[in-house]
Amino acid sequence: MKITIFGSLNYDLVTSAERMPQPGETIGASNFETHHGGKGANQALAVRRLSSQAVSVEMIGAVGNDTFGNELLASMTKEGIDTSRVKVSKTERTGIASIFVDPKGENCIMVYPGANGTHTVEELNLDTFKGSDLLILQNEIPLPVVYKSLELAKKAGIKTMYNPSPVYADAPLDVFKNVDYLVVNSTEAQVLSKAAPIGSEDYSPEQALSALKPLQKTLGCNSIVITLGGSGSVYLDGEETGHVPAGKPERIVDTTGAGDTFLGAIAGQLIGSNKPLGEALAFASKASAIAVSRHGAAEGIPYLREIE
C-alpha cells in the first residue's frame, strides 16, 4: 500500500506573545522557535507516524538549495518518508511560514511559498502518481497543478483526498468531482457552499451536519469531512452521516498543524487499516488532541504507538 502526498514543504518561524500586535505596533515576544512545516510535509509526516509499516509514504514537492531545505529533507528521510521526488530548486529558496501564537495556542500565519511555487502542469502525466493507492493534495502549491493532479489521479483510478486550504471562493466546481475524500474546516465548508459565513466558533455540529448533503450536491464529492475544533467533526460517506466528538487534550499549547495531523490520521486508517470513515475520524480525533498539547506543527504529531 502506498500513500503519496503532493504539496508544500516550509520552514516555520514561530513567535509567541501575550497578544497579537495591532497594525503599526511593536510588542515584546515571549518566545521564538523554529519548526519543520508546510501542509504537505506535515500531512506526509502524520501519515507516516500514524500508519502501519505496511504503508509506504511518498512526498512530492520542492525546496530551495539552502540550509532550511537540506534540514527538511534530512528529517523526512529519517522518518521513513520517500523524498526522492522532492526537487531542489536552483532559483527559489525554501518556503517560509511566519507563525504568531498567543497564550491560548491560537495562531495566525503568513506564508512565503518560495520553491513550492515552482511546480508546473507540464510536469504532470498519467504516470505521475502510478503505484499510489491514495493521493493527498492541499492548496499551498500552484492551483492549476493541484487541479490537474486531481484529474490525472482520478483517470488513473487512484483515490484522492483533498484539503482545499487556503480556500478560494472562486474554485471551479468541476475540480471536486475528482475528489474522493474532501476534508475541510467549518470556515472552508461555508466558503465552498457559498453560504453566509456564520463564524467558525459558532458553527455547531447540527449546522455542519445539515450542510453536508447540500455541499455534496454542489461539489459532487462522495465523502466529506467537516472539522469543528473543540466540537469534533461531522462526516458524510455516501448516504451515511455522523458526528464524532473531539478528543480531550491534557492542555492546549499550539494548534498549528492539528488539522494536518487529523487528515494524516484519517488517511492512514482508511488505507493502512481499511477502517470505515467514522472509525478513522475517531482515531484522528485522538491523534489531534495529542498534537495540540505539544509545541510545533511537525514535532507535535504523535506516533501510532501512542494511540493504539
* The one catalytic residue among 12, 133, 180, 260: 260
DSSP secondary structure letters along 66-94: SHHHHHHHHHHHHTT-EEEEEEEESSSPP
Burial class (CB in 10 A: 0-12, 13-18, 19+), 60: buried
Q: Are the beta carbons of 178 and 154 closer than 8 angstroms?
A: yes
> How far does Cα 246 stand from its chain's mean position?
17
66 to 71, 72, 91, 154: CA distances (angstroms): 9, 10, 11, 35
Is position 170 annotated as part of the catalytic site? Answer: no
Instruction: Tell me the β-bridge partners of 242.
Output: 235
The angle, 0 to 180 degrees and rounded to 10, between the axes of the packed helices 67-78 and 39-49 is 20
The residues, ordered by sequence, that sit 6+ positions from 161 with a Cβ below 8 Å of its Cβ are 134, 135, 136, 137, 179, 180, 181, 182, 183, 263, 266, 267
Q: How many CA atoms lie within 13 A of 274 on its CB side?
A: 2
Active site (catalytic) residues = 260
